[in-house]
Each structure stands twice: as C-alpha cells, then as structure tokens.
Amino acid sequence: MSIAIDPRVAAFIDSQHGLLIDGRSQPALSGAQMPVFNPATGEELTRVAAGADADIDLAVAAARRAFEGPWAAQRPADRERLLLKLADLLEAHGEELAQLETLNNGQSIHLARALEVGAAAEFTRYMAGWATKIEGKSLDLSIAAVPGARYRAYTVPEPVGVVGAIVPWNFPLLMAIWKIVPALACGCTVVLKPADETPLTALRLGQLCLDAGIAPGVVNVVTGSGAQAGAALAAHKGIDKLAFTGSTQIGKVIGHAAVDNMTRFSLELGGKSPVIVLDDCDPQAAAAGAAGAIFFNQGQVCTAGSRLYIQRAIFDQVLERLSAIAGSLSIGPGLDEQAQVNPLISAKQQKRVLDMIGQGVADGARVLCGGVAYGEQGFYVRPTVLADVHAGMQVVREEIFGPVVVATPFDDIDEVVALANDNQYGLGASIWSNDLAKVMDLIPRIKAGTVWVNTHNMLDPSMPFGGYKQSGIGREMGHAAIEAYTENKSVCIAF
C-alpha cells in the first residue's frame, strides 16, 4: 500500500517549473521544456524548463554578481547561520521533500527520509560549522636575497569563486547538498545542473535556500539535459570550479572541458566495489552484509558492492543465503513502505542492466537469482546474483548500476588482493572478518578511496570520500571539502 501524497507535493508537481536564476523562476530562453517521469509507473510526472547555453550564461552572470556583491559581504558567522537555517528548513519540509524524491527517483520513501533529508540536514549542519573555522598558516621565511631584510608569510584560503555543480540522479537532493553547502560555507556561489531525470528536489532546494535568507543569485538551478545545459556549464569560462558526480565517461568530458579553461575541478565517478568475505565469518551474517552492500537503492550507488569475493570454505553457504535473501525481498514502488526493492530510474537504465545481465549469461555466468525484469509497469529489475563468473567478463569488469552482484570464490589473501584490484575503478571496498591480522594486512593493499570493515556504504560528513584510479579526482566531505572550494593565497611581507 502506497502512502498518501502530501497535498503540498501534489501542488508543487502541478506548478510551473522554471529555471531558478537570480532568485527568480523563469522559463528557458528558448521556451523548451523536458518531461520528468515517475519510475514506478513509467508515466510522465510533470515538465521542467530545458535550459541551454544562453540560460547558463544568465545563471553564471547572476552567480558572479552575487559572489562579488551580497555574498562577499556576509561574515563567516552569517554564512554559518544561513546554512543552519537551511538545515532546519530541510527538516521542516522533510516529508514533502522525501515524497517528491521518491516520486521522481523511484527510491524507497525510507531512504528518501533518512538520506535525502536526514543525512542532508546533518551534512548541512556539519559544513555550516566549517564556515567559521577556515584558517591559514603563518610561516617564518628564510629568504636571503636582500641582506638584513626579514620576511614573514601567511596563507589565506579564499573562496574559489563561482562553482558549477553537475550532479547525478541516484541521490538527487543529497548530491546537490554535497556540492552546494561546502561551496557556500567557503563563500562561493553556485550554478547547479541537476540530472536530466531528477530535477524536482533541486528546484525545491533552490527555493528553500532563498527562504533561508541566502541572497538571490547565490544558488542558481538550471534544469536541462547533460548534452546542452551540462556541457554549457562545464565549458563556461565564467566558472571557477566544476564539481561533478556521475559516470567516468562523462567525468572525462568534464575534466577536458575544465582543463581547457584551467577551471579547478573535482570528479566523483563510477565504481565496481569489491566485497571481500573471509572464512572466519558467520555465513548468514556475511550474506546479509553482502545483500545490503549491493541491493541498497537497487544498486544505483557509486560504491555498490557489486563484486563479491568469498573465501572458498564458506562460498556455497554465503551464496545460498544471499540468493535466498535476494529472492525474498518484496518489490514495489518507493511510496509503498513495505517494498524493499524499488524501480530503477528509467527505462533506459532498466534496459542497460538487463542487457548486461544477458551479456553475462552469454559469457557463461549462472543466474542464481533474479536476472529478469519485474511487473507490468515501472522500471523494475529483480535482485540478481550471478556465479560462475571470471575476471574477464563484462559483468565483472564494468559498472552496472543496478541490483546485480557477481560472486567469485578465492583461496588466499594474495589471490583476493589481486582479484579486488584487477579493475579500472577504486572507489570503495569492504572486508568482512574479525581476524584482525588479516584485516590489517588487507586494508593497505586494497586500492580504493574508502575501505570499510564489517560494513559497507556507510558515509559520514567528517569522512573524506572519493576515488582512486578511474573513480575520480579529489575528495568530498570533511576538511577535504573546504580545500576543494578554496584557493590558497600566500602573502609575503618584508619588514
């Protein structure tokens, strides 16, 4: 049974959805619109403005004026207070935002409440605190060029400027917050381009920033396609920093565009994260952990535990239990509080996931569970467990971004290190064991930005997050986020 839709959500969906530029909602200059779908039904939910180059020009100009004008005049304590107010508003509108996200993205309402709203508000408060704690260093220098002269230097982290933020559809509101809030804490202004599929909470967020008292132009939201609005933002000469989360393929395009303008950039990209289960584990508990690592948000998570390596002594037991769990999960719309597996984002993504499973089977993989779509409508894929895979297969090498895990046995630690690292990505990894010596041996040998032990997918605002190898460049969260949105100025004084 789906929960009743909050009347404010229905009213918002039925309203006009313009671009948010300089504090005003306005249609795209071309007048173009694009449809937004409900993944649970496949039906059109509403339409939003489809921005392009000329709209991005306006948004960047507004962000520049705000950066040099009202926002520059705010003291760090003012920025902190405004962001704390924003966190309060996120919570005050929590149910409304969560329902909107579930309708647009398809994800579980539980997840939307806990992450898109709850974790987003906590992240906002954590980052608000940094606004008043950004500090440089004082340096005693040894320059000997002029006899008798003495020098002292200090460093000043200055806001990098106007930030272009391009975010994906898997956690639309949270990803937007991850970019906007640290940027604002540092004194930057932002042009946000939400994903084509999920523009709605970004527009609501832009409005809530205004309601919090953040000056018009500090946060601008340009909805539109990646090919038009996204590409225009990435290549814009008026942007000082690009912050991107999305696929490695598009991340490379963004990186090239950034380098052409010498725009600073950070990229949080794809993953194919290994889950390593040692044979001291209780097979039941390990299977539950592995299920959570891959089926959370239908595997549409950049750190999804999509490659499962189980030590041979417990391989069959873990796989049997994992398949039983996967087969028992109830499937339904995100607004159904009982549903444990929800639709994928789009028909395109559903087809991509099913095609990759099909390729895996053609390459010799054995389907232990799932492997097919579910239902008459909506973009569902049943939780899928594949065995009899080998390292060369596409299903083992490439990111699927769906509820699909490939399982491989291993005999010893050296072997699993080689298997786990044999991939272009290096975003996350988890090790499941209570054998401390083995765990401590493994941690430094795994090439990943985050290594979890006896847990997976757990993030915290204080914990730097980002990728090794093709999983990205730079780190978000913690103090790393402050470094990402500031330039370090050295001041050298002779006396």
Active site residue ranges: 268
Q: How far is the CB of 208 from ligand ADP (least distance, A)?
A: 20
Answer yes or no whether residue 195 interacts with ligand ADP by CB under 6 A: yes
- Angle CA 346–349–354, to nearest 5: 125
d(CA 383, CA 323): 9
Answer yes or no whether residue 454 interacts with ligand ADP by CB under 6 A: no
Can you give the length of the chain in residues?
495
Q: How far is the CB of 234 from ligand ADP (least distance, A)?
A: 5
Q: How far is the CB of 166 from ligand ADP (least distance, A)?
A: 5
Phi (first) and psi of residue 97, to 5 degrees: -65, -40
Residue 128-167 contact track with ligand ADP, rule CB under 6 A, x = bound: --------------------------------------xx
Q: How far is the CB of 90 from ligand ADP (least distance, A)?
A: 21
Instruction: Give the closest residue to 170 by CA, choosing from 452, 401, 417.
Output: 401
Instruction: Give the closest residue to 319 by CA, choosing from 379, 375, 275.
Output: 275
Answer yes or no whether residue 49 interacts with ligand ADP by CB under 6 A: no
Confirm if 423 and 400 have CB atoms less than 8 A apart. Answer: no
Q: How far is the CB of 227 from ligand ADP (least distance, A)?
A: 5
Answer yes or no whether residue 343 interacts with ligand ADP by CB under 6 A: no
Size of the site for ligand ADP (CB under 6 A): 16
Q: Which of 227, 313, 372, 391 binds ligand ADP (CB under 6 A)?
A: 227
Please, which residues have CB within 8 angstroms of residue 367's CB and are 6 or more apart in sequence?
357, 361, 384, 385, 386
Answer yes or no whether residue 247 interacts with ligand ADP by CB under 6 A: yes
Q: Which of 172, 226, 383, 466 binds ligand ADP (CB under 6 A)?
A: 226
* Closer residue to ligand ADP, CB minimum distance, 389 or 400: 400
Tokens of 120: 């987003």
d(CA 147, CA 164): 47
Answer yes or no whether residue 461 interacts with ligand ADP by CB under 6 A: no
Q: How far is the CB of 36 from ligand ADP (least distance, A)?
A: 13
Q: Which of 234, 258, 339, 365 binds ligand ADP (CB under 6 A)?
A: 234
Please, which residues have CB within 8 angstroms of residue 226's CB and are 6 or more apart in sequence?
166, 193, 195, 196, 250
Answer yes or no whether residue 246 interacts with ligand ADP by CB under 6 A: yes
Three-class DSSP category at 164:
strand
Confirm if 160 and 187 have CB atoms less than 8 A apart. Answer: no
d(CA 63, CA 73): 14
Phi (first) and psi of residue 311, to 5 degrees: -65, 140
Answer yes or no whether residue 302 interacts with ligand ADP by CB under 6 A: no
Answer yes or no whether residue 172 interacts with ligand ADP by CB under 6 A: no
d(CA 74, CA 218): 12
Q: Which of 179, 193, 321, 447 binds ligand ADP (CB under 6 A)?
A: 193
Which parts of 363-422 interact with ligand ADP (CB under 6 A)?
none
* Closer residue to ligand ADP, CB minimum distance, 168 or 371: 168
Instruction: Give the closest residue to 275 by CA, choosing from 237, 235, 305, 320.
Output: 305
Q: By beta-carbon distance, which residue lies closest to ligand ADP? A: 226
* Closer residue to ligand ADP, CB minimum distance, 19 or 195: 195
Determine how β-strand 189-193 pairs with β-strand 219-221.
Answer: parallel
Q: How far is the CB of 231 from ligand ADP (least distance, A)?
A: 4
- Angle CA 208–212–215, to nearest 5: 95
- Angle CA 244–248–253, to nearest 5: 70
Answer yes or no whether residue 168 interacts with ligand ADP by CB under 6 A: yes
* Closer residue to ligand ADP, CB minimum distance, 236 or 475: 236
Stretch that binds ligand ADP, among 108-116, 250-258, 307-315, 467-475 (CB under 6 A): 250-258
Three-class DSSP category at 477:
coil
Judged by the rule CB under 6 A, the positions of this chain that interact with ligand ADP are 166-168, 193, 195-196, 226-227, 230-231, 234, 246-247, 250, 253-254
